[in-house]
Structure 1
Amino acid sequence: MNFEDLLTEQRNRHSTHIDQVDTDDMVEIINREDQRVGRSVQKQLPQISEAISLATKQFDAGGRLIYIGAGTSGRLGVLDATELRPTYGLEKSQTFGIIAGGPEAMFDTLEGVEDSAELGEKDLKKVNLSQKDIVIGIAASGATAYTVAALDYAKRQGALTIAVACVTDSPLAKNATVAICPIVGPEVITGATLMKPGRHKRWF
């Protein structure tokens, strides 16, 4: 897979001039593109519903809800897991996020960790993954080596695997029991997938 050919990395024809307009027009362009996120998520409601139903059964049987990803995707997973605890009265042992590079990567950019397939598998082994668990792999491109390897390992262990990406037919989706893939289109700032993809991840 050629990373540059991925939809998330292409130029957005609606925002090629964003650096040449005034501030009012700039925020209108961004807002107009953001509105595509909700519509794309709506098209994935059957997959979201299926993921919830399957995850509920696993969780009620003692499984843990584990998010895993690199960079912004990993940070959003950690955030979601952390927020679930006080909101629903869960324990830290019941839901948590794993980010490539560990806690340090929450605040600093660590080079190379997202490209390590070995690290993705290793991090899940550390938490003694079992077939009861639910693993949500998050990667806008659907091709992040760390996350793809982690979900592949989870699948081989018999865990419920859920992929969250912004492209179809990705390596991440191939390792998923359920793949949630809203197609939000290219970013308004080329390659800045913390924007539209980042917003869609917070819908779940």
Structure 2
Amino acid sequence: MRFFLFLLAFLGAVETQAQFGYTPSMNIQTPRGNVTIPGSYHYAPVFYGSQGIALKKYDYTIILKNDSTITGKGKIKVKKGISSLTIKTANGENRTYTPSETKEIFTVSLYGQKISGTPYFSDSCWLFKTRGGKISQYAIAPEIGTDYYSAIQKGDGRIFPLTKEHLISLVNENPEALKKAEKGKLDKSIEIYNEH
């Protein structure tokens, strides 16, 4: 019996590759126009049955407009173009907050980095800076390096929804990045622009 269990454990410890899943593009409606989060391929843990982004739970600190602070564990949800965060507080209460009620929300990464989100696009969502560079990328989730970014910013300038037109205006002095942006290859355009 011991040999059988050993054999089962040994054979069961085979390293395998995760499956890829495709997450389709998602549109978020804002008063300033639609923001498209481009679709992409990801390892299966991020993919959730063609339902879009599988946002994770984090420990959040919420700073309300009256400067009071609330902490708890929860996850951001997007419904009809409006983000919300439902957290479970220390006393066990579930409470839902929207960007219009907050000044800022933040979480701390595993590496101790504060990832802060502030209300944008007429308080329809929180934007978290997920990648820096000449053109920074902002996402609706506090996940550093995520491909689910929906806004961009050149230097310390204004934050724009990620659209082909906005990106073209930001990269127009770099011919190679401009060419990619005009073809709709927004990720590649930003990558090229940030490298040069």
Q: What is the TM-score normalised by the length of structure 1?
A: 0.25
**Higher relative contact order at CA 8 Å, sep ≥6: structure 1 or structure 2?**
1
Of Structure 1 and Structure 2, which has the larger fraction of its residues in helix?
1
Of Structure 1 and Structure 2, which has the larger fraction of its residues in strand?
2
Q: What is the TM-score normalised by the length of structure 2?
A: 0.25
